[in-house]
Amino acid sequence: MLGIKNKKVKELLNSYKEISVLQKTLALLSWDLNVNLPASAGEERALQIAYITKLLTDRWLNGKFRDVLDRAVNKKEKFTQEEKAVIRNLKQAGKYYFKVPKEIITEFAETTSRSFLAWQEAKLNNNFGDFLPHLKKVIRLNQIIAQHLGYEDNPYDALLDMYEPGLTTSKMKRIFSLLKPELLELLERIKKSKTYKQKDGLKQEDYPVDDQKQLALFILRRIGYDMNSGRMDVSSHPFTESLGRFDVRITNRYSTSDFIESMMVALHEGGHALYEQGIKKEYSQTPLEGGVSLGVHESQSRFWENQIGRSYEFIRFVTPILHAFYPQQLMDFGSETFFKRVVRVRPGLIRTQADEITYNLHIAIRFELEDGLINERIDPEDLPNIWNKLMKKYLGVVPTSDSEGVLQDVHWSYGSFGYFPTYTLGNLYAAQFANSIRREIDIEKLCEKGDFGPILSWLRTNIHQHGSLYWPDELVRKVTGEQLNAKYFLAYVKEKYKRVYSL
C-alpha cells in the first residue's frame, strides 16, 4: 500500500490480510445463503458460518497481532495519514474482540443465531411471545457488551459507536429533535393537501420479471456499476455484499404487479456497490478497504435512490425507457404520473416501504425503543404496546399484528442494537453531500440526459476512493466544509415535497 513505511504498521497489514480473506469467505457463505442455498441445507451452512467466524475471532485475538497493535497505538511515532488510519481502524474493529470476554462473544454468537430462527418463526406465526425470551437475552448480552466496551454517558453509546464511529445517543437525540417536529408538520400539511387525495390513474398491471431485471441492469450499467466486478441476483431482502474489490454483488427482488420497486432497489443497492467499486485498489486487503461506516454507506445508496432516482429529471430520462419496456402497461402515462408515484407520501406500517418523509420517523421510533431497552426504562414485555403507541403518535397508523409491527425487522434478532440510526444518518449525509455536489455540478440537467458520469466521478473523487481512510466526521467536513447536520436534509425534503404537494 502507498505511504506505508513504518515496520509495525507493515506487520499489522500482513496480519490483517488473513482477517480480510476470512471476512470475504464469510461474506460468500452468507451471500450464497441468501441467494442460492437449497432449502434443506440451512443447518450445514450455519455450522460453516460458525466455524469461519470462530477462525476470524481467533485471528483478532492472536496475541502477537494484538501486541503489535497495542504498541503501535501507544507509540508517539510520526505516522503518515494512511498509517494512522490503519491503526485507528484496527483499534476500532478490534475493540469488540479485545474488550469483550471470549465467553460473551461466543454466547452472543450462539444466542443471536438461535434468536434469528425464533424471530423468523415468531414473525410467521405473528407471535411476539415466542420471540420475547430470545429478545430478552439479546438485550441482556448487549448491556453486558456495552459495559465491557465502555462509554461516558449512556451504555447505548457503546453500541452506536460499533456501527458508526463516534456516534452517541445525545448526538442522535439532537438530530431527531430537529427532524421530528419539522417532518411531522410537513406530513400533516401533505395529508391535508388536495394532491394527497388525488389518484394517479396507474392500474395494477403485469410487469414480467425478466423485463424488470433487464431494466434494472440497464439502469445499473448507466449509473456506472461495473458488471465485470459484480452481478445482480435475487433474494427476499435486497442487499449488497462485497466479496472483494472486484466482486461487489447486489441483489434485487421482483413483484410482477409493480414496476417501480425493482428500479429503486437497483439504484439503492447500486449506490452501495458504486462506493465499494470506487475504493482505491491498493486499499484491498488492508484495514482501509470497504466503506467507512454504515451511515456513509447508506448515504451512497440513498443518494442514488432518492436524490437521483426520485427526482423529476431522472424520471423524465427513464420515461421513454419505461415505455419501451412496458408499452402496453405504461404507454398512456408520462413523466408527471411516474414522478408523482415515486414521491408519493403515505404513512404506513412498514419501514422498508416508507417514503422520504416518514422513513426517518420509523427510525426515530426504533431509536427511542433501543435507548429505553438498553437503559431498562422499557420492559421488553411492553414492547408491542409501546411500539403501537409510538406508531400512532408519529405516523398516525397502528399495526393490527405484531408481524407488521414490532416483529417486522430482522435487526434485533441478529443482536444489532444501534444499527437503525445509521439509516437516518445516511439520509442526512446524502442530502448534505448532494448540496455540495450541486455547488459544482448541475445534477438535474445531467439526470435528464441520463449522463451520470460527472456525478459518479465527483463521488469517486471526494468520497469513494478514500475507502476507510477518513472517519465519517472527518470525511463530511472535508467534503462539505461542515459537520453533519440535519438542515440540508430538511431543506431538501421541504423544498421538494412542498412543490410536489403544492403547499
Binding site for a copy of itself (CB under 8 A): 18, 21-22, 24-25, 28-29, 32, 36-41, 43-45, 47-48, 51-52, 55, 226-231, 243-247, 249, 284-285
DSSP H helix total and E strand total for the chain: 23, 3
Q: How far apart are the first and last CA of the chain?
A: 54
* Separation CA 137–CA 470 (nearest Å): 35
Give the three cell numbers for residue 17: 490480510
Cβ–Cβ contacts within 10 Å for residue 409, how many?
Answer: 18
Between the alpha carbon of residue 138 and those of residues 18, 150, 308, 322, 458, the distances in Å are 29, 18, 38, 46, 42
| Cβ-based nearer residue to a copy of itself, 65 or 156 | 65
**What phi and psi, each to the nearest 5 degrees, are found at residue 151?**
-165, 165
User: Is residue 448 annotated as a catalytic residue, yes or no?
Assistant: no
Q: How far is the CB of 14 from a copy of itself (least distance, A)?
A: 13
HSE (side-chain half, CA atoms, 13 Å) at 272: 25
Q: 295 and 426 in contact (C-beta within 8 Å)?
A: yes
What is the identity of the amino acid at 435? N
Burial class of 7 by CB neighbour count within 10 A (0 to 12, 13 to 18, 19+) = exposed
State the catalytic residue, choosing from 83, 269, 298, 313.
Answer: 269
| Cβ-based nearer residue to a copy of itself, 24 or 134 | 24
Give the three cell numbers for residue 250: 447486489
Task: Render the burial of 56-84: b for 16+ CB within 10 Å, e for the rest.
Answer: bbebbebeebbebbeebeeeeeebeebbb
Q: 146 and 158 in contact (C-beta within 8 Å)?
A: yes
- Catalytic residue list: 269
